Structure 1
Amino acid sequence: MKICYISNLYPPMVLGGAEIVVEKIATEMARRGHEIIIITSNDKNKPQTMANNIKIYRLPLNIYPIINFHKQNLTRRILWHLIDLININAYKKIKEILEKEAPDIVHIHNYKGLSTLSFKLVKDLNMPLVFTAHDYSTICIRSNLLNGKDQICEEQNFPCKIYNQIQRLLIDKKPDIVTAPSKFVLKKFESKGLFKDSKKIVLPNPIELKDENNKKTYDTIDILFVGSLSKHKGPHILIKAFQKVKGENLRLHIVGKGPYFEEMRKLARDDKRVIFHGFLRGKRLMDMYRMANVTVVPSIWYDNSPMVVYESFICSTPVVASGIGGVPELVRDGYNGFLFEPGNVDELANILNEISENPKILRKLEKGARKSSKKYDIKRHMSSLEKIYKGLIEEGG
């Protein structure tokens, strides 16, 4: 098969887990003998590059690349969104690529930065279309269902409603199949009446399992946070909870970058036990998971299916997480981790305190974490995707 993946970011340009997932899938599909094309954004026009036998088109399609979005002022952000909504330039450039490459199937992942018109374009060319939702971009301009105060948005304001109505006209009824890593996201779409005509499939994120003989030590209890240092990810919740737990044998490792980096450093400045490592990936990141006794995912937004949980499980590291969004579909209380009420500093502090005083409880959770990881083996994911692709191609034929 000839498969085209459309993703607003692709390594080495990385902001979150979605682009890592796309890279894993594309690399594995190429290894299985399929011809792979990637269409992604960039700040420079590179008509065509190659990596791992994958053809990559990196296109400048807006006034600045999405990877720089958080550095912009409000006016430039609004202008970027308006251009992205109906970006005729993006439509033309992506159309040229798709007509030239003539893929058997197109699979859209995160699309902000490549224009909402990408959906219409694929159907205009009468190509089979799969869409994977990594967040809530199709129903929220901020993609996370949070308002300007970083609270769950219960009622959209008038500009958001207009934006989403236009976006809906361009997206709805276009994908043949919509997948998401969690049931929660698909139910959110269903509650909004979106993608009624599309087949919907829950497809957890893929991970590459390796033979891990990861023996933990408990002289020091190492607590790990991995993610964007943004308020909706909840790093401030974790730091406040950690500061309530006494003990010199505790360490909190913060891995990531983001708009609230300096604010988080100030919040933790009086606690020498808190260590900031910056952005890590690859072996250095996996070494952090192996070293950690527990990973904390303190999200205050409807987290979809965070890669942090999957990666932690690979290394037999239990997860303490907010019971929100799709997270409870991964983390089972008392089996591979613990769940706590989103934003509840005291409840999280109590869990961390219990772990620090009785680290033996982690041993059972470590076994559960490792067993859980086996359900998400990339081989199972790829077999499911190939079946989806072949079914759509046969229907079209």
Structure 2
Amino acid sequence: MRVLHVNKFLHRRGGAEGYLLDLAELQRAAGDEVGYFGMAHPDNEPDLPYAGNFPPHVELDPPPPGLRSRLNAAGRMIWSPASRRGLARVIADFRPDVLHLHNIYHQLSPSVLAAARSAGVPCVLTMHDYKLACPSYQLLDRGTVCQACVGAGPLMAARRRCKGGSLTASTLLAVESWLHRELRAYDPVQVFVSPSRFLAEVMRRAGVYPDRLAVVNHFVDTGAVPVKQRPGGGVLYAGRLSTEKGVDVLVQAVAGLPAGVPVEVAGDGPARPALQALADRVAAGRIRFHGRLDKARLQALIRQAAVVAVPSRWHENQPMAVLEAFASGVPVVGTDLGGIPELITAGSDGEIVPAGDPAALGAALAALVANPERAYAMGRAGRARIERDFTPDGHLDRLRELYQLAADRLPRRRPAPAVSR
């Protein structure tokens, strides 16, 4: 099978890109031919054959300087002729059996779907966030969980100024989403894949193609993940350092941990300076910030931990931090939002605590650190679940079923009428 993956970034920028690249490698090992289409970017994977067809690089957060550049960027968010033309050329050369789309919003826009429809190629789109129901992606209104647009439509984003309190930015996102809905820009997608039941339910309530939704877990290749071999260790957070991740709650929770318990933070992001300053004030000398780590070093750090903390204050979809901790045989304490409770069975492979509650988070972490044998057993239960429910082969089989379903649903072109002499 020839699979063309489409995503705005083609480097390991976050969970969506990590999943895309790991899936492509898995498909290639299974005998599929894989191609990529995205935006030109200096950090993209090297030697991409179709890079000459990618639309030019643009950064939207923060917006580009200058009025003309901002207007061009706004127009590109709504419709990108360069993306459509570029993908049309790639489709003509690569001749894919299916387009597997990921995060195409803003830098590519749904214009790429018009190229797929013109070429008659079936489309499957994996939703890594809430963009199709929430103009600002995260079901957040200035840091507070919010689902106003899910029931009332995307124009609520402008009324609430949910994008950082900015009327201009919020209105742009609201109009973009409203226009795409009115123009039915996502009609060419035959199957929408949701990694969590929570995200799928949000899309159903928002009226986002409820008859085309399919829930498919992510996967973890446990053969490539060494498992923890002995009890003990401290607390680890691994992920992006941004406000919605709730790392500040973890920093405050450290006060509830016994002295001497190591607390490690792996990852980088815009909130790092503020988090380090907070740690200096409330937990001086007790938290070590590692920055971004490669996969091998991160896996080693996970295995050294007794427990992994996922203190998110937003509705996570299906966070790889939980799956990777379980694969390493380490339990997880996570919050009660989004898809996290679907992954953690409280008392079996981890614990669930209220979001934004440092005392509850600290108590749950302290209990596991104080009982390393119990934490070790819970980690083994997490590993067993990964081996049962998140296998690479099972994931590939399910995707192949959905690729075939997308092909079956593809509208057939009517034959041209006979020409009479």
The normalised TM-score by structure 2 is: 0.84
What is the deviation of 1:61?
2.9
Q: Which residue is equivalent to 1:252?
A: 263
For residues 296 and 70 of structure 2, the distance between their equivalents in structure 1, rounded to whole angstroms, comes to: 34
The aligned counterpart of 1:367 is 380
Of 308, 325, 328 in structure 2, the residue corresponding to residue 312 of structure 1 is 325
Cα distance in structure 1, aligned partners of 2:55 and 2:46: 15
1:358 aligns with 2:356: no
Contact 1:229/1:256, CA 8 A, preserved across alignment: yes
1:58 Cα offset (Å): 6.8
Distance change (3 Å), C-alpha of 1:232 and 1:179: same
Percent identity reads 22
1:297-308 paired onto structure 2 within 5 Å: 297-308=310-321
Shift of 1:153: 2.6
CA contact (8 A) 2:228 2:330 kept: no
TM-score normalised per structure 1: 0.89
Q: Which has the higher strand share?
A: 1
Contact map agreement 1:146 1:152 (CA 8 A) in 2: yes
Q: Which runs of 5+ in 2 are unaligned?
A: 149-155, 159-170, 413-421
Matched, 1:134 2:145: no
Contact 1:304 1:327 in 2 (8 A): yes
Partner amino acid, structure 2, of 1:272:
G
Contact between 1:62 and 1:83, CA under 8 Å: does it hold in 2?
no
- Distance in 2 separating the partners of 1:207 and 1:153: 31
Match of 1:36 in 2: 34
In 1, Cα distance between the equivalents of 2:287 and 2:43? 41
Indicate yes or no: 2:360 matched with 1:347: yes
* Cα pair distance change 1:379/1:45, threshold 3 Å: closer
Deviation, structure 1 residue 363: 2.7
- Root-mean-square deviation (CA, aligned residues, Å) is 2.6
Match of 1:389, SS state, is: helix
Aligned positions, number: 384
Counterpart AA for 1:134:
H
Matches of 1:360 and 1:99 in 2, distance apart?
58
Alpha-carbon distance in structure 1 between the residues aligned to 2:356 and 2:17 = 27
Instruction: Report how far residue 390 of structure 1 moved.
Output: 3.2
Of stretches 252-261 and 235-244 in structure 1, the one that deviates more from structure 2 is 235-244
- Give the corresponding residue for 1:118: 112
Query: Which residue number in structure 2 is paired with residue 92 of structure 1?
Result: 85
Does structure 1 conserve the Cα–Cα contact (< 8 Å) formed by 2:110 and 2:186? no
Indicate the residue corresponding to 1:336 in structure 2. 349
Structure 1 unaligned blocks of 5 or more: none
Distance, in Å, in 2 between the alignment partners of 1:117 and 1:14 is 24
- State the one-letter code of the partner of 2:41: D
Check if 1:183 corresponds to 2:197: yes
Structure 1: how far apart are the matches of 2:289 and 2:301? 12
Please say which of residues 163-172 and 103-112 is displaced more in the overlay: 163-172
Q: Please identify the structure whose Cα radius of gyration is greater.
A: 2
User: Residue 262 of structure 1 is aligned with which of 265, 270, 273?
Assistant: 273
Deviations 1:11-64 (A, max 9, x none): xx22211111111111111122211111122236999935xxxx5537653562
Q: Aligned partners of 1:230 and 1:107: how far apart in 2?
A: 28
Query: How big is each residue's C-alpha offset from its partner over 1:42-93, in whole Å with a ceiling of 9 and x where there is no partner?
Result: 236999935xxxx553765356246xx3586798778635422211121111
